[in-house]
Chains A and B, each alone.
Chain A
């Protein structure tokens, strides 16, 4: 029996259209728009001004607090303005606009391709380099990596769990990374183990990626304490709490951090970024992005500079088909619908999914028939039907008592509902409201 998490879960069609495509390097854009807030937490403070010349790797924005991250230039050229730009969230956020000239990199960055396994730096130095390079969680949550590596006082990590699950349908960026940059990923894992002070790491990979499992297993023989765990294909296994349950058979309690059960979870993409930051002195300025879906002609994987407009990626994937109806930043389950093709790629962009119009329109909702399929699907053990009703009728106390704040917004309930009810829409709204009420009570 393959390991998996123990409560709920669904199996949406995998649709990994781009799985056989090697990662190709996308040309540097003519203009890069680099948002200063690409992570959870406070946005970075701009340290450049209009007219400044920058290189690849030049610091553009300095971390704006404890939970924040540095932002670097991904291109070389001239800062044309610092203005707001609509990002993947649909909101206007401050961003640095750079008119690209050539492709000059900061001298300190090692651009060679030779893998460097050995790392003799101390824990402190490793964390400093990770902080300096602006590494954040690349699975989509974009939580600053250094914060996760500095546990609260009195807490001790036992195990590092590396998330190579990629449970979102369509996306193949992590899969490509594992099969094409496996050595670097594992070197990054070893560095993260040192930084987190653990002697054991488990790379969790779903069983639909047998090539990645076999390759990393083979490479892991060269390391002490790194193990690869094949997992049963089940969504949302990439959810932090679900992955910990699958690997360790321990459940993080409501409101608690993963470290409370001894786990630190990092994405494979983050492990790679950590490797580059620590061993190559390279800030996080590019990432692998899958461009996929029935609405693009040639689903592909690209290595893309941060700040490249989505339009460039779609064009490189052969352009949109005539019936394209929706562009999604991320996967189909948790991604956000983009308002335009001008939205820039940021650190958290794992994929661009273009769905045909017919797949983009929701069917009309009917009355709840209390079939409980949402209850069976919910990976947090909640009753989505009840929570939706509570949110709809503003019964915040009832919603709070039934753990609305534990919802991870994975969408399994809405995906499953035979009456096409927009369960997550209402629960997401109610969760925000209840979190506000709880915050108000504390202050």
Chain B
């Protein structure tokens, strides 16, 4: 030993949790939804996800290495996760060059311009998606119809999503079973409610997230669309349809729960979740866009610092 004792303050042990463990945990939780999207959208799902992940990771690496001149930290898995989540929010027939632009917006503007992981205000994947939605509205709202392991990528047969059918007020909606399984048009990762819920259970079991945000988002959206449905069932859709269609579950479980951009106390998480549920419902029911989850989450991201200021953890012994 030669008098070389290590001196450091307590605690002297660590639980072994790491950023990687959490990021790769979320990626694992996304595997069922990915499997479903490959089944229904085939080659398109594979290509879009691969291009998105590769360009997010490369963008982060290049920015850190050459612009910020820092040690690249792509090994932590957060860029991969942003890539997967961005892909899950895109139609599976989106041309690769558009995906690359989305990835640059997500990582470059959404994440690195704020200082990288931990410092960004907005969910990077949603920054990328909304950037594309505004820049390429036609391509971003042309949805391939699900098939069985289709081999086409950009020239697949297209159709409407459940929510755009509702927004335009016509057409026959898919059955609840189809919505649960994912047999409907939509962004590639959002279609199967069952697969997303399976991922939710996994995230809870591994204590990667808590229940507060997803439950608050889902319950609020369900209640709000339910009230409108009860008031006027002819003009408004069944709340179950709202719950199972569009990006509500993907958003509530995987996007709204992004650590960096969501509040830190349980009460704050609930306020934030309720806000997302309300804004989503308002946009869906009364807005011109058929879907509002992305906007709702981004708006609540902006309010997160304020929520953190006013909703503190429950203090031992009260005030």
| Binary flags per residue of A357-375, CB closer than 8 Å to B gives 1, else 0 | 1011111001111111101
Given A369-B117, A370-B259, A416-B17, A337-B313 contact (CB < 8 Å): no
**Using a CB-CB cutoff of 8 Å, which residues 372-391 of chain A contact chain B?**
372-373, 375-376, 378-383, 385-386
**Using a CB-CB cutoff of 8 Å, which residues 62-98 of chain A contact chain B?**
90
Task: Point out the residue from A334, A339, A385 that lies within 8 Å of B7, measured CB to CB.
Answer: A339
B204 nearest CB across to chain A (Å): 13
* Beta-carbon nearest neighbor of B259 in chain A: A371
B207 nearest CB across to chain A (Å): 8
A360 nearest CB across to chain B (Å): 4
6 A-B pairs besides A333-B12, A403-B315 with CB distance below 8 A are: A169-B13, A359-B12, A366-B19, A367-B115, A370-B260, A415-B13
Chain B contacts of A355 at CB under 8 A? 12-13
Given A253-B318, A378-B313, A425-B9 contact (CB < 8 Å): yes
Q: Does A340 contact B (CB under 8 A)?
A: yes
Q: Does B226 contact A (CB under 8 A)?
A: no
A318 nearest CB across to chain B (Å): 15
Verify A326–B6 contact, CB threshold 8 A. Answer: yes
Chain A contacts of B175 at CB under 8 A? none
Given A360-B6, A362-B8, A373-B317 contact (CB < 8 Å): no
Chain B contacts of A41 at CB under 8 A? none
In the complex the two chains form, what is the Cα distance from A158 to B318 in whole Å? Answer: 21
A163 nearest CB across to chain B (Å): 18
In the complex the two chains form, what is the Cα distance from A357 to B312 in whole Å? Answer: 39
Chain A contacts of B210 at CB under 8 A? 376
Chain B contacts of A101 at CB under 8 A? none
Chain B contacts of A200 at CB under 8 A? none
In the complex the two chains form, what is the Cα distance from A353 to B6 in whole Å? Answer: 13
Chain A contacts of B264 at CB under 8 A? 370, 372, 375, 383, 385-386
Chain B contacts of A359 at CB under 8 A? 12-13
In the complex the two chains form, what is the Cα distance from A212 to B183 in whole Å? Answer: 59
Chain A contacts of B1 at CB under 8 A? 320, 324
Q: Does A338 contact B (CB under 8 A)?
A: yes
Q: Does A411 contact B (CB under 8 A)?
A: yes
Q: Does B170 contact A (CB under 8 A)?
A: no
How many interface residues does chain B have, given as a range?
A: 35 or more
Chain B contacts of A379 at CB under 8 A? 316
Task: Point out the residue from B118, B263, B316 that lies within 8 Å of A368, measured CB to CB.
Answer: B118
Residue in A380, A381, A420 with the greatest tally of chain B CB atoms within 10 Å: A381
Q: Does A2 contact B (CB under 8 A)?
A: no
Q: Does A12 contact B (CB under 8 A)?
A: yes
Given A325-B6, A340-B3, A383-B265 contact (CB < 8 Å): yes
* Beta-carbon nearest neighbor of A326 in chain B: B6
Verify B313–A381 contact, CB threshold 8 A. Answer: yes
Verify B313–A383 contact, CB threshold 8 A. Answer: yes
Verify A375–B265 contact, CB threshold 8 A. Answer: yes
Chain A contacts of B262 at CB under 8 A? 370
* Beta-carbon nearest neighbor of A355 in chain B: B12
Chain B contacts of A412 at CB under 8 A? 11
| Binary flags per residue of B234-270, CB closer than 8 Å to A gives 1, else 0 | 0000000000000000000000000110111100000
Binding site for A on B (CB under 8 A): 1, 3, 5-15, 17-19, 21-22, 73, 76, 115-119, 210, 259-260, 262-265, 308, 312-319
In the complex the two chains form, what is the Cα distance from A245 to B109 in whole Å? Answer: 47
Task: Point out the residue from B15, B260, B265 that lies within 8 Å of A369, measured CB to CB.
Answer: B260
In the complex the two chains form, what is the Cα distance from A339 to B8 in whole Å? Answer: 10
Chain A contacts of B73 at CB under 8 A? 366
Task: Point out the residue from B5, B22, B317 that lies within 8 Å of A339, measured CB to CB.
Answer: B5
13 contacts between A and B (CB under 8 A): A362-B14, A367-B116, A369-B260, A370-B118, A379-B316, A406-B316, A415-B13, A415-B15, A417-B14, A418-B19, A418-B22, A419-B18, A425-B9
Chain A contacts of B116 at CB under 8 A? 367
Q: Does A414 contact B (CB under 8 A)?
A: yes
In the complex the two chains form, what is the Cα distance from A373 to B259 in whole Å? Answer: 10
- Nearest 8 pairs between A and B by C-beta? A411-B11, A367-B118, A372-B264, A371-B259, A253-B317, A251-B317, A418-B17, A381-B315
Verify B13–A367 contact, CB threshold 8 A. Answer: no
Q: Does A42 contact B (CB under 8 A)?
A: no
Verify A333–B11 contact, CB threshold 8 A. Answer: yes
In the complex the two chains form, what is the Cα distance from A162 to B29 in whole Å? Answer: 45
**Using a CB-CB cutoff of 8 Å, which residues 220-251 of chain A contact chain B?**
241, 245, 251
Given A12-B13, A375-B265, A378-B313, A337-B7 contact (CB < 8 Å): yes
Chain A contacts of B12 at CB under 8 A? 326, 328, 332-333, 335, 337, 353, 355, 359-360
Chain B contacts of A431 at CB under 8 A? none
Q: Does A31 contact B (CB under 8 A)?
A: no
In the complex the two chains form, what is the Cα distance from A411 to B11 in whole Å? Answer: 5
Task: Point out the residue from A254, A324, A371, A424 that lies within 8 Å of B9, measured CB to CB.
Answer: A424
In the complex the two chains form, what is the Cα distance from A227 to B126 in whole Å? Answer: 57
Verify B5–A337 contact, CB threshold 8 A. Answer: yes
Q: Does A25 contact B (CB under 8 A)?
A: no
In the complex the two chains form, what is the Cα distance from A380 to B14 in whole Å? Answer: 19
* Beta-carbon nearest neighbor of A416 in chain B: B15
B250 nearest CB across to chain A (Å): 20
In the complex the two chains form, what is the Cα distance from A22 to B316 in whole Å? Answer: 38
In the complex the two chains form, what is the Cα distance from A10 to B18 in whole Å? Answer: 16
A49 nearest CB across to chain B (Å): 33
Task: Point out the residue from B9, B14, B76, B313 that lies within 8 Å of A415, measured CB to CB.
Answer: B14
A293 nearest CB across to chain B (Å): 10
Verify B259–A251 contact, CB threshold 8 A. Answer: no
In the complex the two chains form, what is the Cα distance from A110 to B11 in whole Å? Answer: 40
Verify A418–B6 contact, CB threshold 8 A. Answer: no
B72 nearest CB across to chain A (Å): 13
In the complex the two chains form, what is the Cα distance from A320 to B2 in whole Å? Answer: 13
A97 nearest CB across to chain B (Å): 22
* Beta-carbon nearest neighbor of A413 in chain B: B11
Given A340-B3, A371-B22, A424-B9, A254-B260 contact (CB < 8 Å): no
Chain B contacts of A340 at CB under 8 A? 3, 5
Verify B3–A414 contact, CB threshold 8 A. Answer: no
